[in-house]
Amino acid sequence: MARSIRSLGWVALVAVALTACAKLAPGAATASASGSCYAPAVIAGAPLARSNAAFAFDIDKRVMVLFGGGNTQEGSGGFVDTWTWDVQGWTRQHPAQSPPATSEAAMAYDLTHHYMVLYEPAPLAGATPQTWTYDGVTWTRTNPVHTPPSRNEPAMANDPSRGGVVLVGGTASGDRSDVWAWNGSDWIEILPDQGPVFGSAHSVIVSPKDGSLLVAGSVGAYRFGNAAWSALGVPWPDGTGYVGNVAYFVGTGFVRFAGNGETWTWRPELDPGWRKAALECSPPARWADTYRPAMAYDDSRDVIVLFGGRDRNDTWTFDGSTWAPAAGGAASPVTPSPPPPANAGSWATLARLATGRIDQTATVLQDGRVLVVGGSKEAEANQLATAEIFNPKTNAWSAAASMAYPRARHTATLLADGRVLVVGGLGPGRGNSEIYDPGTNKWSPAGNLISARANHQAVRLADGRVLVMGGRQPGRPLSSAEIFDPVLRSWASTGSLLVARDRPQAVMLPGGKVLVTGGVSVDTGGSLDASVLAGSPLATTEVYDPATKVWIPGPTMSVGRVGHAIATLGCSRRGHQGHRRGRPCREVRSGNRPVDRLHVRPAGLSRRLRHCAWLMVVGAPDGRRPLAGDRQHARRWPLPGVRRRQPTDRRKRCSGGVHRLAGDQWQQSGPASREGSRGCR
């Protein structure tokens, strides 16, 4: 998805898109009832038919949130109800208090403060607009010192660079072009109104690198940077009916659903103008001058969600290639499941940490306890030196000794003697390392790195030394690598990676070599969102040989990845790493035939998995944010030099097709099949 926006480094955080007038009003078009491309205009169990509702995605709870709106009967008063939507359908929420009934408001999720922010225009002349927040339980009215002047249909987006959300434009007596930022307690005016610049139908995205804005709407596309707006020369197509709604879809670009039922897209820096999409299925046309449908991007399911419009309450999703009717009725009630039996592989809620943290490390100690080290509290500049230990036998956390230096995005590696080596990271500890001894609960210095780094990887080698590679320094990803000797407590340079890699993933292979995968080679400021969406994630891999201290190219992944996970799979039926019937994985043989196949299969380990020493890489592909439950983008490699116990004629039964390794290239030698989708039997 970064392909469409890589040169500007834009990232869609949350966008609200709006409607405006154009030339041609749509007729009363209806959807075809053939196939699955049909949804009735009115659906029981969904919010009542409405238009101009506030609609945005809750990043933390992974649901769409809808508030208010109006219809031809409601007039200007509007609705006062709150709803959430996921793939199961709509659920009415019952907060203890709610904002006044409203229409033509704007809403965006504030990831910095973890709540939804609603801007309500003033209901009457002379009244003050209101700002409300919604935490998933109830609405709370805020009392900011400053508030943007009243306007209908502004655009809003999550904006961590400004400490909350950003609000752009809207329409009052005329179109506005001012910019405001919500910081959690007050609105800050970033740019005074410059008069009409772009029309009121617009969507906004935010660059994570410099906080610049990109707006696309009914008059054209504009960039805000250096305290000024500049036109990008992308006019709105003439004669295409009322705008309807505009939202930003990661990977597809700006998406416009027109009042006549047409869908148009524009990818910044790739498309010279808006393109009409030729779709097999589309929502029926709906009046979109005064009564716009709600439309926003669902970051969890990677689709645009469209709801309602004048006299309609149907729900549709757009995946970048076609629309499809979605579950538009009431979500099925959740029936509590009986508690699973012990040791059934189920999840359980454990005790909470004493300190909430992000970008920390967790290391399993030799006695089974878990050491959690460092991290940050919300902001990148607020690193932690504290550490905690979880005891799974007692389900309790206890404080461990604190490090000498606060750090986040570091690495923590279990050494052969049971101690833990912590290396680099953001903060004062970027250029040094420390060792934790669980037996004494003490930290000791482990020396300064040759190259200070964060976002790197560390792998313990077969001889007990630790290989550290890649990462970044401010302004540049790193290709350098170095090795720590725990006996000498010293650092030494080793061969550099073939390309710089910020946020790669690495693992030691049977035989002692190290495989590193993915990451980004361009500077995106270090954040994962920016790396995924604007960093052109790498599909290449490299293999390090400790004997020669040289990196060589490894097999290329099908898509670029960053923010992914990697692990070697073992020999047991459930894919656990380790031994099988008392023998190490790499000693399992099938005659003298080496493993030379690559399988692409859905994520998750097959219960029938019998392969030995496979490698699984799990994560979203180039430009897609990694999603929980994504079962489409995982890859398994047989590890070099490892043999397996399995008949040789199994090609047609492996999901995603079969590939052979010929030199440095993977070549397909068998097609994917439905039978293969169940895994290699």
Amino acid at 431: G
Neighbour count for residue 480 (Cβ, 10 Å): 20
Q: Where are the beta strands (DSSP E) in 547-656?
A: 550-553, 565-569, 579-580, 583-584, 597-601, 614-618, 634-638
* pLDDT the model gives residue 505: 96
* pLDDT the model gives residue 242: 63
597-601 and 658-662 beta bridge pairing: antiparallel
Sequence-distant (6+) residues with CB within 8 A of 357 are 372, 374, 375, 376, 377, 384, 408
597 — pLDDT class (breaks 50, 70, 90): very low
Nearest Cα residue to 216 out of 15, 443, 416: 15
| Helix, strand or coil, per DSSP, at residue 162 | helix
pLDDT of 566 > 50? The answer is yes
pLDDT of 301 > 50? The answer is yes
DSSP single-letter state for residue 681 = -
Nearest Cα residue to 294 out of 107, 99, 150, 119: 107
pLDDT of 619 > 80? The answer is no
* pLDDT the model gives residue 512: 94
pLDDT digits 0-9 by tens, 628-654: 333 334 444 444 433 333 333 333 333
Q: How far apart are CA 373 and CA 351, in angstroms?
A: 17
182 — pLDDT class (breaks 50, 70, 90): very high
2-325, which class in CATH? mainly beta
10 — pLDDT class (breaks 50, 70, 90): very low
Q: To which residue do tokens 């500007």 refer?
A: 8
* pLDDT the model gives residue 531: 80
Q: How far apart are CA 54 and CA 62, in angstroms?
A: 17
Summarize the confidence of residues 401-413 as an average pLDDT: 96
Summarize the confidence of residues 436-446 as an average pLDDT: 95
Q: Which residue has the higher pLDDT, 298 or 35?
A: 298
**Any bridge partners for residue 432, and if so which?**
448
- Cα dihedral sign, 671-672-674-678: positive
pLDDT of 503 > 70? The answer is yes
Rg (CA), the chain: 27
Following CA atoms 234, 237, 243, 245 in sequence, which dihedral angle do they give, to the nearest 10 degrees?
A: -50
525 — pLDDT class (breaks 50, 70, 90): confident
pLDDT of 599 > 70? The answer is no
Percentage of the chain exceeding pLDDT 90: 51
Q: How far apart are CA 489 and CA 484, in angstroms?
A: 7
Backbone dihedral region for residue 438 (phi beyond 0: left; psi -120 to 50: alpha; all else: beta): alpha
Amino acid at 97: Q
**Range name among 54-58, 218-222, 453-457 with the lowest pLDDT average:** 218-222
Sequence-distant (6+) residues with CB within 8 A of 373 are 360, 361, 362, 363, 387, 403, 410, 412, 420, 422, 436
**Domain boundaries defined on the chain:** 2-325, 355-448, 450-674
pLDDT of 267 > 60? The answer is yes
Summarize the confidence of residues 492-508 as an average pLDDT: 96
Q: What is the DSSP string of 393-425?
A: TTTEEEEEPPPSS-BBS-EEEE-TTS-EEEE--
pTM above 0.75, yes or no: no
* pLDDT the model gives residue 671: 40
Run of H or E including 325: strand 323-325
pLDDT digits 0-9 by tens, 365-388: 999 999 999 999 865 668 999 999
Which tokens sit at 131? Answer: 């700002």
**Range name among 216-220, 474-478, 605-609 with the lowest pLDDT average:** 605-609
Q: Which residue has the higher pLDDT, 196 or 479?
A: 479
* pLDDT the model gives residue 46: 93
Highest mean pLDDT among 325-329, 333-337, 479-483: 479-483
Which tokens sit at 119? Answer: 């801007």
* pLDDT the model gives residue 332: 67
pLDDT of 35 > 60? The answer is no
Q: How far apart are CA 546 and CA 448, in angstroms?
A: 22
pLDDT of 41 > 50? The answer is yes
How would you write 178-247 as a 3-class SS string? EEEEECCCCEEEEECCCCCCCCCCEEEEECCCCCCEEEEECCCEEEEECCEEEECCCCCCCCCCCCCEEE
**Range name among 200-209, 378-387, 411-420, 582-591 with the lowest pLDDT average:** 582-591
Is 471 in contact with 517 (CB distance < 8 Å)? Answer: no
Is 435 in contact with 443 (CB distance < 8 Å)? Answer: yes
Residues recorded for the chain: 681
Q: Which residue has the higher pLDDT, 201 or 43?
A: 43
The CATH number of domain 450-674, selected from 2.120.10, 3.40.50, 1.10.3470, 2.60.40: 2.120.10
pLDDT of 4 > 60? The answer is no
Q: To which residue do tokens 């313990």 refer?
A: 460
Q: How far apart are CA 590 and CA 610, in angstroms?
A: 12
Is 64 in contact with 58 (CB distance < 8 Å)? Answer: yes
pLDDT of 428 > 50? The answer is yes
Which tokens sit at 380? Answer: 């990148």
Summarize the confidence of residues 597-602 as an average pLDDT: 31
pLDDT of 441 > 60? The answer is yes
pLDDT digits 0-9 by tens, 96-137: 999 999 888 999 999 889 999 999 999 888 899 999 999 999
* pLDDT the model gives residue 147: 96
Query: Measuring CA to CA, how many Å separate 528 from each of 11, 359, 532, 535?
Result: 11, 11, 6, 9
| Helix, strand or coil, per DSSP, at residue 486 | coil
Which tokens sit at 246? Answer: 């505009």
* pLDDT the model gives residue 87: 86
Mean pLDDT of the chain: 78
* pLDDT the model gives residue 289: 67
* pLDDT the model gives residue 194: 85
Is 155 in contact with 204 (CB distance < 8 Å)? Answer: yes
pLDDT of 461 > 80? The answer is yes
* pLDDT the model gives residue 261: 87
Q: Are 2-325 and 450-674 equal in CATH topology?
A: yes
Q: How far apart are CA 475 and CA 498, in angstroms?
A: 19
pLDDT digits 0-9 by tens, 42-94: 899 999 999 999 999 998 889 999 999 987 554 446 899 999 999 889 999 99
